[in-house]
Amino acid sequence: MEHHGRIIKLLHASIDPDPNEDSEFRFLVDNQTVKYITISGGLFEPPDMSFEPALVSQLPPFPPGDWNTARISADAATGLPRFEATEKKLLPGITNLWHDVRIDYTELRMGRRLKSNVYEATCARFGSKTVVAKFARFPWEIGHVAAETTAYE
């Protein structure tokens, strides 16, 4: 959906209903880059964070620049949501690969969802073939996916 001149798509959310706890989100911005954003607890209502149009409409404009992680919190003076920090980080990933093909998320066109982190997908590199794409949505899921990947070695 369009938001302040950018195309913002909510990919995944880990929403904590406790207003004292943060929630984590993955967004695809302008169909090009994935941004990991932490939203301070209590800033938005959990039902609003679960519904993409409601969430995106409440977000501040995404700052320009080369960043992949950010934090949104309430401005101390106004109480309005603001980007408190943005940073370009080397994100954790699966290192024990059983093959040499690496595909960026933005290369995939997701089809039917099979599980919360497993999709049928297509990728231009594979022609018209449908593949199964499985990935860790957030850093805390990497250990599980890495262990499963090790089984394929």
For 89-116, write each residue's pLDDT tens digit. 998 888 887 778 888 889 999 999 999 8
The pTM for the full model equals 0.87
How confident is the model over 35-49, as pLDDT tens digits?
999 999 999 999 999
State the Rg of the chain over Cα.
17
pLDDT at 117 over 90: no
* Short-list 58, 56, 57, CA closest to 79: 58
Q: In the predicted model, is pLDDT for residue 134 greater than 80?
A: yes
Question: Tell me, what's the pLDDT at 99?
Answer: 79
**Mean pLDDT throughout 7-25?**
95
| Backbone dihedral angles phi then psi of residue 28, each to the nearest 5 degrees | -100, 125
- The token pair at 140 is 């805390």
